[in-house]
Amino acid sequence: MSFSLNVTTVGQGHNIAFLHGWGVNSGVWQPLVDILANDYCITTIDLPGYGQNHERMPEPYNINSVSQMIAEHLPNNCILVGWSLGGLIAQQIAFDYPDKLKQLVLICSSPKFSKSLDWPGIDTDVLALFASQLALDFSKMLERFLMIQAMGSENAKFDVKTIKQNVQQYPNPSEKALVAGLNMLENVDLREQLKQLKMPCHVFLGRLDSLVPIKIADLINTYSHLANVEIIAKASHAPFISDTEDFAKRLRAVLI
């Protein structure tokens, strides 16, 4: 089945596509897009149920259906950049549609977000708390989630303000998409698929990130020899917001 999504493309040059994280939308990329658009053709896609696509969702809504929906709108032979939940979806796309991509870039993302005995990550109690708060008040819950993302950043309040300003130009996300996204973060495990990765992968991690701990760095390397991990010393969960210029340089340096 073919699905239609609203997609935004700017700039010229090699194709790069960006997928945002949970609770926000493609507006979060605007500071980075402003820097890169002179040298690259940049495609930003709101995840189904988010932003410009807040009313466009597959049924059922899961990582496979979302990945299919997005893959159909990616430019051929592109570099796919995914942040947080967007990185989880980007990994699924890389496994299911490898011919679409020439490189995978993950920002503060993981093949498995939930904590377990053999994997560091987010405590399931925290994810359950987000789910319960979501049902009560989305705006307050999102504010709290953004603060957790910025925790540890030298400019935490500025980071949160910047994210909010950039995402508020679009409609709020669908509650269905938000609930499904939390379910993905809690239950999806792509570690075994990572062994089958067919393209180069660069993973940026923030040393101060409380959601995707840097302890996963060595573990990722045990699953794929194609994955290169870079730890940004002063970054939390959104390094492209806390120091956009520095992150743009780092990203340029690893693009193939």
Q: Give the residue numbers marked as catalytic.
A: 84, 209, 237
Residues whose CB is less than 8 angstroms from the CB of residue 152 and which lie 6 or more positions away in sequence, other chains included:
206, 208, 209, 210, 236
Kindly write down the DSSP assignment for every residue of the chain, as one continuous string: ------EEEEE-SEEEEEE--TT--GGGGHHHHHHHTTTEEEEEEPPTTSGGGTT---SS-SHHHHHHHHHTTSPTTEEEEEETHHHHHHHHHHHH-GGGEEEEEEES--SB-B-BTTB--B-HHHHHHHHHHHHH-HHHHHHHHHHHHHTT-TTHHHHHHHHHHHHTTSPPPPHHHHHHHHHHHHH-B-HHHHTT--S-EEEEEETT-SSS-TTHHHHHHHH-TTEEEEEETT--S-HHHHTHHHHHHHHHHH--
